[in-house]
Chain A
Amino acid sequence: MTATVVGEQRETPTARSLRLSATDLRPPLAGQHIDVRLTAEDGYTAQRSYSLSSAAGADPLEVTVERFDDGEVSPYLVDGIEVGDALEVRGPIGGWLVWRPESGDRPVQLIAGGSGVAPLMSMLRTREATRSATPFRLLYGATDPDRVYYRDELARIAADGVQVDLRYSRRVPNGSDLVPGRIGRAELEASTLPPADEPSIFVCGPTGFVEAVSDGLLAIGHAEERIRTERFGPTR
């Protein structure tokens, strides 16, 4: 199906959000992804999956793309494509890393590593769009303050009552008393909803991040069946 780029926003030096009008697509759930297919003028094609960051059912849709310098598709989506251009899309796809506002008021803990925040942003935006009273908390790990997506919107969401904890693995903001480091068990105990709250937990990020976080969540006593994960990138 055809989607048209109707808006764009630079999130970081290496990431851009694209707003896509795709009226033929079934309305997505919060956390689903779409496949994007690019076709060169000689017919060569390349396809990738991108999580949607827009709220469930939103039109236009939004994807946030991180540029991988040796990537084939991401450099074009971050630096090449322009408003008004068309793309081929398919979806929405995936029904696992999904939050449904009608699913009840069990609290939700979101844990994002890097660009893994995109599908979790979709859940935050869905909570807001549906005026859900479900308690949400976000723990978001980025390498440094310049790599944080949706900075202004997250600040606004935090002011509206969702606890947002930003952590940095390499460099913290000037004047912050945070210590740079990876998110481990101690950070999870300090900055996420406790097992006694029995939250639904959604974890999305690079493989090593998700492995460390999900092992840490099990170690502090969260039940496996409440943890849903999505990993990307190669193992190291």
Chain B
Amino acid sequence: MAIFSPGFRGRRRDTNPALPPGQYEEHGFPVLTAGPTQRVKTADWSFTLTTESGATKSWSWDELMALGPETIATDIHCVTSWSKFGTSWRGVSVDKLLDGVDTSAGFVMAGSYGGYTTNLPMADLAGGKAWIAFEFDGKPLAPEHGGPARLLVPHLYFWKSAKWVNSLTLMERDKAGFWESLGYSMHGDPWLEERYS
């Protein structure tokens, strides 16, 4: 049963059907990070994919760029209740990293410079739903927003879009990442309001 707040009206600016339940529209770009910002140069950057059998594939920055970046226009949704509409990114589809990889893994752990991790179902990473993003609004992605490259999984709450991402580890069984082990959802679908476990 709802508890009514006498005299509370709200702004009614949030009637946009693109807004998931419990979210409000934010025009800035808030930063939420559990520790200091990582500062990684593209010359030192590398990315590693490890399959469930232990096979690895790695990419340098130039090798990532050579995979063929694309432009992504999308809304993003943070678990702290803000959503930002119409953001513009450039990135490389995770499908291109998975291309030719022999796997039947159902889950993936994304890892980052600085030690952050987040787990996702493979079904939420493959099939044109996720990117390694390195540009925001036409400019190189700023370090405080996860630059030089972050994971971009815009259909899930934004903590799944790991900043400073540098690895994907394919897993047969799901395992909790950083926030997931602190009480946040293993999946994080904003439309189902999967905020907490």
* Chain A residues with a Cβ under 8 A of chain B: 2, 35, 37-41, 43-49, 72-73, 76, 80-81, 85-88, 90, 93-97, 207, 211, 214-215, 217-218, 224-225, 227-235
Contact = CB atoms under 8 A, between A and B. Distances in A.
Contact of A211 (B30, B32, B144): B144
Interface residues of B, number: 38
Contacts of A35: 81
B144 A39 contact: no
A232 B29 CA distance: 10
Given A72-B10, A87-B3, 12 more contacts: A38-B10, A40-B9, A47-B22, A48-B81, A72-B24, A207-B144, A211-B37, A214-B36, A227-B35, A229-B34, A233-B28, A234-B29
Contacts of A37: 22
A208 to B, nearest CB: 9
Given A39-B3, A94-B182, A211-B144, A80 B8 contact: yes
Contacts of A229: 33-36
Interface string B96-123: 0000000000000000001100000000
Chain B contact surface mostly = loop
Given A231-B30, A234-B29, A235-B28, A43 B36 contact: no
A47 B82 CA distance: 10
B138 interface: no
Contacts of A215: 36-37
Given A214-B37, A215-B36, A215-B37, A80 B7 contact: yes
B80 interface: yes
A161 B91 CA distance: 52
Nearest to A232: B30
A218 B12 CA distance: 43
